[in-house]
Amino acid sequence: MSAKNPEQVLGMGCWQLGGISFLNGRANGYGALDEEVALATVQTALEGGIRFFDTAAGYGDGRSEELLGKGLGARRSEVVICTKFAAEQNDEDGSSLGFLPTHTDRAIDASLERLGTDHIDILLLHGPPDDMNWDMFDTSTLEQAQADGRIGAYGVSVRSFKGARNAVEAGFGSHIEVVMNALDRRAGELQARMDAQGQQLIARVPLASGLLTDRTLVDIPTFPPDDIRSTFPPEQMDWMVGAVRALDFLSAEPGGLATSALRYILFHPAVDRVIPGMRSPDQVHRNLRALDLGPLAADLVERIETANPEVFYRWR
């Protein structure tokens, strides 16, 4: 496996810690989460050996960063923090002003304050356009922040596989965060070039936004209006449900479909980090079990990779 030590692969995705959040009038979070539960989730992850935590300034308008910093407390030095910042927005019309150097500098300081730390291990640009011209991007602020010790490494969290391919082809940064799960495995195609360039792959939404579970085998998922999944187009949801049901053979494995789907990504040779979202101590324990169970049998891996040969057409 590319991450080299299985125990270092499993991280905690902290989007859920942000609670209720809206962006341009649309849900941009996973619903309410009590602060005590959020802090207990971080503590449980620490106690279980998780040492990689992924968050973002945009998760709950900074709430996720604040709770993560509070939850880590004196144990901050034991972990790797990866956080993200989005492009600056025009106050008048909400249009994007891009990742200007002055904005980048302010964003770093703001995240440091919310996290209660003096350095960010990995800083990612959050959701730039898939066709970003990386050759023209000014990295001087990021490089100065590295020299100052405010950040360790930098990279990009992309919207889609197209964005990942673009960033890899340009050799931008040392970390690429991209969708990678049993339904969308395309990021694995980038492994050889990423390895050659010293880039690491952080697999996000490894459980397909929580749809890769046994519940999807029997029910059509529905979500409240403050849950970002309520914004998924019906056509996309129909495809995802059908694709999950094509993997029903995984429900017979230990832990069921979700645990098996997570095992597939945790031990994928192209993946360095995996960041399933966690919103309760029970979810932490379930994810740790996937790590304990180890790799799936080769025949199961082959069945996963042939069950859904194509991704949803709008993702292509």
Instruction: Note down pLDDT in tens along the chain; length 316 residues.
Output: 344 566 689 999 999 999 999 988 999 999 999 999 999 999 999 999 999 999 999 999 999 999 999 999 999 999 999 999 999 988 777 788 899 999 999 999 999 999 999 999 999 999 999 999 999 999 999 999 999 999 999 999 999 999 999 999 999 999 999 999 999 999 999 999 999 999 999 999 999 999 999 999 999 999 999 999 999 999 999 999 999 999 999 999 999 999 999 999 999 999 999 999 999 999 999 999 999 999 999 999 999 999 999 999 999 9
Q: What confidence score (pLDDT) does residue 81 get?
A: 98
Q: How far apart are CA 199 and CA 232, in angstroms?
A: 31
The helix (H) or strand (E) run that includes residue 84 is strand 80-85
Residue 96 lies in a domain: yes
Residue 263 lies in a domain: yes
Q: Are strands 52-54 and 80-85 parallel, antiparallel or unpaired?
A: parallel
Structural domain range at position 198: 6-306
Q: What confidence score (pLDDT) does residue 2 get?
A: 42
Residue 253 lies in a domain: yes
Burial class (CB in 10 A: 0-12, 13-18, 19+), 58: buried
Residue 1 lies in a domain: no
Q: What confidence score (pLDDT) does residue 6 get?
A: 63
Q: How far apart are the first and last CA of the chain?
A: 27
Give the list of residues 6+ apart from residue 155 with CB closer than 8 angstroms, or none.
Answer: 122, 123, 124, 125, 167, 172, 173, 174, 175, 176, 177, 199, 200
Q: Are strands 273-274 and 200-204 parallel, antiparallel or unpaired?
A: parallel
Q: What is the CATH number of the domain that holds 193?
A: 3.20.20.100
Residue 313 lies in a domain: no
Q: What confidence score (pLDDT) does residue 92 get?
A: 75
The helix (H) or strand (E) run that includes residue 157 is strand 151-157
Residue 233 lies in a domain: yes
Q: How far apart are CA 244 and CA 242, in angstroms?
A: 5
Q: Are strands 26-27 and 22-23 parallel, antiparallel or unpaired?
A: antiparallel
Residue 276 lies in a domain: yes
Q: What confidence score (pLDDT) does residue 90 get?
A: 84
Strand partners, 6: none
Q: Give me the number of domains the chain comprises.
A: 1
Q: How far apart are CA 35 and CA 118, in angstroms?
A: 24
Residue 55 lies in a domain: yes
Task: Supply 56's token pair.
Answer: 């973002």
Residue 192 neighbours by CB distance under 10 Å: 10
Q: What confidence score (pLDDT) does residue 154 get?
A: 98
Instruction: Quickly tell me which residue has 């519940």 as its tokens.
Output: 215
Residue pair 166/135 in contact by the 8 Å Cβ criterion: no
Q: What confidence score (pLDDT) does residue 91 get?
A: 79
Give the list of residues 6+ apart from residue 117 with CB closer than 8 angstroms, or none.
Answer: 69, 76, 81
Give the list of residues 6+ apart from residue 282 with CB closer than 8 angstroms, or none.
Answer: none
